[in-house]
Amino acid sequence: MKAVLFSAILMALFVSIQNVAVAADPASKSEKSWWDNPYPSQFDSSQLTNKLDFVSVQGNKLVDESGKQIIFRGVNIADPDKLLREGQWSAVLFKELKAWGANVVRLPIHPVSWQGNGKDAYFELIDQAITWANAQKMYIIIDWHSIGYLPVELFQHSMYDTTMKETRTFWEDIAFRYAGVSTVAVY
């Protein structure tokens, strides 16, 4: 009996020493731990060429910083990822939209595109849209484009599939990255 107990204690001690050695070995850790995941970086507003007023709500009107009413005349474009794949994603698109009389562009971001590209790559597309819109003195509306009923995750098509957690994280990341960027009028 003593021999069995002694063997069990030795085995437990051996396993404990093994676990400590494995935990102390950096090569044994996963490549990225949850605490290594960075917050998204903030958008670099210094690359914008025009200063646009921040838009706010006053009563039932959108107003600029001086309180003057702004009337948005906008257009919706396709998902930037789709436009990129079709060779249509460029500053020329935003010049043409401005020529049509638009002062705001709705940027629909489909969950399938966000998931497929990953957050960092998709931020590059949004950053380009903001830069190109700003060059034309236009605003951007960022739209998480999911059609369906989010609380039960019932969607019209698989391109809109998302979760409450993914949606919340998307908006938290967007709000953090574009805080203080006046070209982003609404998100």
**CATH number of the CATH domain containing 133:** 3.20.20.80
pLDDT in tens, the chain (187 residues): 554 444 444 344 443 444 444 444 444 444 666 566 666 788 988 889 999 999 999 999 999 999 999 999 999 999 999 999 999 999 999 999 999 999 999 999 999 999 999 999 999 999 999 999 999 999 999 999 998 888 988 888 888 889 999 999 999 999 999 999 999 998 8
User: What is the C-alpha to C-alpha distance for residues 27 and 15, in angstroms, rounded to an integer?
Assistant: 19
* Domain contains 30: no
Instruction: Name the average pLDDT for the chain.
Output: 85
* Domain contains 21: no
Residues paired with residue 61 on neighbouring β-strands, in sequence order: 58
Residue numbers of the domain that contains 107 = 44-186
Q: Are 55 and 64 in contact (CB under 8 A)?
A: yes
User: What is the C-alpha to C-alpha distance for residues 135 and 140, in angstroms, rounded to an integer?
Assistant: 12
pLDDT tens-digit series, residues 121-132: 999 999 999 999
* Domain contains 16: no
pLDDT tens-digit series, residues 18-31: 444 444 444 444 46
Whole-model pTM? 0.77
